[in-house]
């Protein structure tokens, strides 16, 4: 189907679209539908024996070790609940190192001797499963011929029902490990890191008079995404296979007017959003905010804060739900970090805090943060962690796809710094000089319109160019890419926070034991941290040309690409850090490094082959046909005795020649022998394939501006971004 035909069908589809009747009336009021398909605490309290319920809650809320004797009772109640919900199968859901969700479905029903069947689901089945582990990325942790892997029930993340028109499935969140107990997934290290961070946060709280506190990490991940009509999506092999457009010239209008940002949501998109939120509510996912993002065709959803582990699970489930519901509405949801060149890409901002139900967030400064010593200690721990382990934070968001986004106008630079805002920066500046005695307070905004209410102002602005910014009651890590799981960045944040909290607790405990006044010990600790690690605090413009120069003078690394960042994972200090807190052993760290290299090379390799295929079989033939028509026209004019202008022929011939040369170079690069190491393949992808692809694209995009519209084989940016 030609580009014009695809466009006409997509336009018809948009014009004919009628949003489905999505309603929260009556029995499906939001308050009643929320958590409808979740084996929640409320459901457990109704269905479990009191002693079993208390045991499970102790594990979920207080980190107590799971009592293995409760498994049979929980499994029986879970099975009965699932069958009542129409489930026929159960699945241990896990999160392998693909970054996606994996599951293996088994039926509840087993045949018995009389020819009938019986629903069975024992405690041992709930607690442990055994999927094949050989075909997932493992970075050397498993041999190809060794297949055994185990899933283990994560009681802290509730089971849920996944609905399908043909039948429902009980989904049980689990960890995924090898026979040796090494992590083959993202959840296991996240749980380990949360435990380590909580242990040392509790030591700090004990010093401030709060005994026996179970501290957990909280996460509120914002999700950006694009929507395109599926007619366009299916007509673009690059979007279909790589998730991003490998060709496409800038449309006459892009995002320069900023008119899409927070604009009125198109009816078709709003219908999709409402339908999606309905499913998210049923799954207990607290979707809160929806809006248009900066780029045309780009949108965002933001949930409420949840425990880090649950937030990571819900993020994966949210992405799966978005993909499924978008198709129902005739659209495709794109999570790639940079699906369209020249407009904003998509991130997944990880809003991080820590605390518990008793104390709330430990990152709330209060009205006078200079007097809030407990907050200042936790905030100082963040500053130390980000400065000392900036390379690990950068490595936690490193991927071939995110490399297209980091440093561009919608994303923070690859230089990891921390933004505190005017109020906190002033407090820590006072601390560095000796002691803090005041805090900038809130003000009042005078707008000059009598009918408007008095509007209070915060004591500091936000910085959208900072990778790690304080935003009032949390820190926002803005570097993660929209396609990645939040478990990786959260694992890193928890681990480096465990180190900083361990350090701070040790300094304070030692000082107090030596007879130092506690307030004096806190002041000395804060002064030392801000003196040693204050270089990471930057409240300026992260996009400015001067910042990389200043950052280098401050000793801050600028790890521009994935291959610059990944080696941070296998430094001696990094491996010692993760092993000390029981998050990764050395083998697990090396596996993440090897997988990062492999995924980088594979991603760019797929894109290179797609560039070659599309350039050779679609773009070049269209351009040659256009060239031929011009040549025939010139020949016909000359035969008729009319003077012909050959400039148009020369104009299109030059980029055709460049395209042929670029395709030949790319073809040769794909065939070249680069060795068999993951590093060699990744370096070849970066140093050879990416430049060759860029040359092919430059020629192809030049041709898109010359070739007749009726001949151009691909839906254009103008069509994909604006027809919704």
- Distance between CA atoms of 338 and 485, rounded to whole angstroms? 16
CB 295 within 8 Å of CB 260: yes
Per-residue model confidence (pLDDT) at position 148: 74
CATH number at residue 121: 3.10.20.70
- Compute CA distances 119 → 12, 76, 108, 160, whole Å: 49, 10, 5, 18
Residues 402 and 436 occupy one common structural domain: yes
Please, is 273 exposed, middle or buried when counting C-beta atoms within 10 Å of its C-beta (0-12, 13-18, 19+)?
buried
Residue 248: both structure tokens together: 């496409």
d(CA 24, CA 21): 10
Are 487 and 625 in a shared domain?
Answer: no
- Residue 579 has a pLDDT of 97
Q: At residue 707, what are phi and psi to the nearest 5 degrees?
A: -70, 140
* Out of 48-62, 185-199, 310-324, 684-698, least confident range: 48-62
Distance CA(86)–CA(73), nearest Å, equals 20
Nearest to 475 by CA among 639, 293, 351, 648: 351
Last residue within a domain, chosen from 161, 185, 209: 185
Residue 529 counted as domain residue? yes
**CB neighbours (10 Å) of residue 99?**
18
- pLDDT recorded at residue 204: 96
Rank 11-20, 198-207, 368-377, 668-677 by mean pLDDT and report only the highest: 198-207
Q: Do 294 and 337 fall into the same domain?
A: yes
Is residue 466 domain-shared with residue 517, that is, in the same domain?
A: yes
Residues 425 and 525 in one domain: yes
Would you say residue 436 has pLDDT above 70? Answer: no
Residue 694 lies in a domain: yes
In a domain, 583, yes or no: no
pLDDT at 533: 96
Q: Which of 185-189, 379-383, 435-439, 718-722 has the lowest mean pLDDT?
A: 435-439
The C-alpha atoms of residue 473 and residue 379 are separated, in whole angstroms, by 10
pLDDT on residue 447? 47
pLDDT at residue number 250? 92
Q: What's the mean pLDDT in 681-701? A: 97
Q: Could you tell me if 491 and 387 lie in one domain?
A: yes
Phi, psi of 437 (to 5 degrees): -120, -5
User: Are 500 and 644 contained in the same domain?
Assistant: no
Extended beta strands in 304-359, E state: 306-307, 331-334, 350-356
Let me know if residue 332 belongs to a domain: yes
Range of weakest confidence among 253-267, 455-469, 593-607, 685-699? 455-469
Same domain, 440 and 564: yes
Does any domain span residue 351? no
Whether residues 215 and 227 share a domain: the answer is: no
What is the share, in percent, of the chain residues with pLDDT greater than 90? 67
Do 571 and 643 lie in one domain? The reply is no
Would strands 287-292 and 223-229 be described as parallel, antiparallel, or unpaired? unpaired
Residue 438 pLDDT level (bands cut at 50, 70, 90): low
| Residue 695 located in a structural domain | yes
> Of 452-466, 593-607, 667-681, which range is least confident?
452-466
Residue-wise pLDDT tens digits, 531-579: 999 999 998 888 888 999 999 999 999 999 999 999 999 999 999 999 9
* Average pLDDT of span 28-56: 89
In this prediction the pTM is 0.93
Query: What's residue 583's pLDDT?
Result: 97
Q: Is pLDDT above 90 for 259?
A: no
E strand or H helix at 119: strand 117-119
pLDDT at 449: 53
Q: How confident is the model at residue 378 (pLDDT cuts 50, 70, 90)?
A: very high
Domain that holds residue 172: 38-185
| Domain presence at residue 591 | no
- Among 94, 90, 92, which residue's Cα sits nearest to residue 136? 94
Query: What CATH number is associated with residue 692?
Result: 1.20.120.1560
Burial 178-212, CB ≥16 within 10 A → b, else e: beeebbbbbbbbbbbbbbbbbbbbbbbbebeebee
State the pLDDT confidence band at 253, using cuts at 50, 70 and 90: confident
- The CATH number of the domain holding residue 28 is 3.30.590.10
Query: What is the pLDDT confidence band of residue 16, given thresholds at 50, 70 and 90?
Result: confident
Whether 373 and 510 map to the same domain: the answer is: yes
Report how many domains make up the chain: 4
How far apart are the C-alpha atoms of 534 and 387, rounded to whole Å?
8
Dist CA 332 CA 324 (whole Å): 9
pLDDT mean over 45-59: 92
Distance CA 207, CA 23 (A): 51
% of the chain surpassing 70 pLDDT: 90
Residue 464, SS3 per DSSP = coil
Domain boundary among the residues 298, 317, 346 is at 346
Last residue within a domain, chosen from 163, 185, 207:
185
Residues 415, 548, single domain; the answer is yes
Q: Per-residue confidence at 236, pLDDT binned at 50, 70, 90?
A: very high
Residue 294 lies in a domain: yes
Taking only the tens place, the pLDDT of each residue in 439-498 is 665 655 554 555 556 555 555 555 677 899 998 889 999 999 999 999 999 999 999 999
The pLDDT mean for the chain works out to 89
Confidence (pLDDT) at 17: 74
């Amino acid at each position: 189907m030609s580009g014009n035909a695809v466009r006409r069908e997509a336009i018809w589809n948009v014009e004919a679209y009628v949003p489905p009747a999505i309603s929260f009336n009556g029995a499906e009021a939001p308050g009643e539908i929320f958590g409808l398909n979740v084996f929640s605490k409320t459901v457990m309290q109704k269905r479990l024996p009191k002693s079993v319920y208390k045991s499970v809650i102790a594990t979920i809320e207080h980190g107590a070790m799971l009592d293995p004797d409760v498994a049979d009772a929980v499994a029986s109640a879970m099975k009965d609940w699932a069958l009542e919900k129409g489930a026929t199968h159960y699945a241990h859901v896990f999160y392998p190192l693909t970054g996606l969700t994996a599951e293996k479905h088994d039926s509840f029903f087993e045949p018995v001797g009389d020819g009938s069947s019986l629903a069975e689901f024992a405690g041992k089945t709930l607690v442990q499963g055994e999927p094949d582990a050989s075909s997932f990325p493992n970075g050397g942790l498993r041999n190809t011929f060794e297949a055994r892997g185990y899933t283990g029930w994560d009681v802290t993340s509730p089971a849920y029902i996944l609905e399908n028109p043909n039948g429902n499935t009980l989904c049980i969140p689990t960890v995924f490990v090898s026979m040796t107990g090494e992590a083959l997934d993202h959840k296991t290290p996240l749980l380990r890191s949360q435990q380590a961070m909580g242990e040392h946060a509790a030591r700090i709280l004990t010093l401030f008079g709060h005994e026996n506190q179970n501290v957990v990490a909280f996460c509120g991940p914002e999700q950006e995404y694009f929507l395109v009509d599926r007619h366009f999506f299916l007509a673009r092999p690059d979007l279909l296979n790589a998730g991003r457009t490998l060709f496409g010239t800038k449309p006459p209008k892009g995002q320069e007017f900023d008119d899409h940002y927070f604009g009125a949501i198109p009816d078709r998109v709003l219908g999709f959003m409402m339908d999606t939120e309905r499913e998210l509510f049923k799954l207990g996912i607290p979707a809160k905010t929806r809006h248009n993002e900066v780029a045309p065709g780009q949108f965002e959803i933001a949930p409420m804060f949840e425990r880090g582990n649950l937030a990571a699970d819900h993020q994966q489930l949210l992405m799966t739900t978005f993909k499924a519901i978008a198709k129902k509405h005739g659209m495709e949801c794109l999570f790639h970090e940079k699906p369209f060149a020249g407009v904003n890409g998509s991130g997944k901002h990880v809003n991080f805090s820590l605390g518990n139900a008793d104390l709330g967030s430990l990152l709330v400064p209060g009205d006078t943060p200079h007097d809030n010593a407990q907050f200042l200690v936790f905030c100082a721990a963040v500053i130390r962690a980000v400065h000392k382990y900036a390379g690990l934070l950068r490595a936690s968001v490193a991927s071939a796809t995110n490399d297209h986004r980091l440093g561009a106008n919608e994303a923070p630079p690859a230089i990891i710094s921390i933004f505190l805002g005017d109020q906190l920066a002033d407090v820590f500046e006072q601390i560095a000089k000796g002691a803090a005695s005041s805090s900038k307070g809130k003000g009042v905004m005078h707008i000059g319109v009598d009918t408007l209410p008095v509007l209070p102002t915060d004591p500091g602005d936000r910085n959208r160019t900072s990778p790690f910014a304080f935003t009032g009651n949390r820190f926002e890590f803005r570097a993660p890419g929209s396609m990645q799981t939040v478990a990786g960045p959260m694992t890193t944040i928890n681990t480096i926070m465990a180190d900083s909290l361990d350090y701070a607790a040790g300094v304070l405990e030692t000082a107090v034991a030596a007879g130092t006044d506690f307030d004096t010990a806190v002041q000395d600790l804060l002064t030392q941290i801000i003196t040693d690690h204050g270089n990471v605090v930057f409240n300026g413009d992260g996009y400015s040309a001067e910042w990389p120069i200043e950052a280098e003078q401050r000793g801050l690394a600028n790890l521009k690409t994935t291959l610059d960042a990944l080696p941070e994972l296998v430094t001696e200090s990094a491996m010692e850090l993760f092993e000390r807190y029981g998050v990764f052993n050395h083998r697990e760290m090396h596996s993440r490094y090897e997988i990062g290299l492999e995924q980088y090379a594979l991603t760019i390799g797929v894109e290179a082959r797609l560039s070659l295929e599309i350039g050779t079989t679609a773009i070049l033939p269209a351009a040659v046909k256009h060239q031929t028509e011009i040549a025939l026209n010139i020949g016909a004019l000359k035969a008729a005795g009319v003077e012909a202008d050959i400039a148009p022929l020369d104009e299109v011939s030059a980029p055709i020649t460049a395209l042929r040369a670029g395709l030949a170079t790319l073809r040769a690069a794909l065939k070249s022998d680069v060795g068999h190491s993951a590093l060699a393949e990744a370096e070849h992808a970066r140093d050879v394939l990416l430049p060759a692809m860029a040359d092919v694209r430059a020629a192809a995009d030049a041709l898109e501006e010359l070739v007749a519209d009726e001949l151009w084989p691909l839906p254009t940016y103008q069509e994909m971004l604006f027809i919704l």
